[in-house]
Structure 1
């Protein structure tokens, strides 16, 4: 989108002698070209590839994790039937998010030009503004991708575990300086997939309400959460 806008700024129109090549005319031309850009089909391709990649990695990681923790191979049990609805919803939702980047980019360009417009403003200055707004849009796109990757992965992990009859998990914190205190407080706590407000410190015999300094969500549900799960099977964790 940035290249479309910058090209419109730098190129004069040779075909239409009546074309408005003033700064205002170029600005209007940019908005029109961006508005006509069909992003929906591209967004569908991007979202589908992203969700498919997340799902493939999720199956592999879950199988590897079970094999390492319990010496059980569950790869044949990790089909897509139980998560197909979630995957389709994730694709649709991410198409809307990607499309919103285009709309926000158009809005940002218009606002930036209005805020910075001065008499005698050159096309090169307009192009610079567009490139700067493009960097903002690119940064937002990357942030959305990180956040959505974590959320989708977390959701299908829960669904796959529950389909296997696994009701509990151990919270695995990111364990670095960026980890939020409310997430660090949950590290290594035993939790339930069906209730994100409780935890256990006695192997699931009793459950306590999470305190005020504990996040009341599952791993990956909070904004840009990097925490993870370790599935917990009570009878396999009992001492021999």
Structure 2
């Protein structure tokens, strides 16, 4: 088989799985509402509390970044990681693997579908925030869109380590919620300890915030170096985890 033929076949597999995950996403479209509900309610509360204050684009960025990051992380966790566990526990994942001959077309298709979804989510949330704070910035909106397209696949890949945990989907729901809230609480913490600083930098919320700053032109050698290191770590952890997680549910708790 030629290289072109192999690539074409892989793309065809991704396209087939994309239809499946697109259908699943429409069936679970209530997740879109729940993912946006917390950021919108929190932003509405904050916006009404500071209604009398003027908001510059820079201040708007500071206000919305943690919740833009939450939307990306929540969609990656629910739409990709937990969805993968659900299809594994239902026995579909192993069947799809036998059909496609590889586990990666399934992952790629789901990430593609969820990327489109999370871009729409962040557009809605960003426009809502701009309207609430009466501060519109096309540059920020475009940066958020690009940020989502760049960061979401990497976050989804990084969360693959959760697939190695000895739990079924119903047991992971509480873990997922705790993880999202815990990461949000750890966002923005500073430390002089190099090891702790690196662990903080691994926080997807922090990674997303740094990426947005870079996209908005706040580029430094240190920030860029940390960004590249985090991307490499995310990719290595994600690929190894997904490649080694069990495609068959063995009745784990």
Relative to the length of structure 2, the TM-score reads 0.29
Structure with max Cα Rg? 1
Flag the structure with higher helix content.
2
Flag the structure with higher strand content.
1
Relative to the length of structure 1, the TM-score reads 0.30
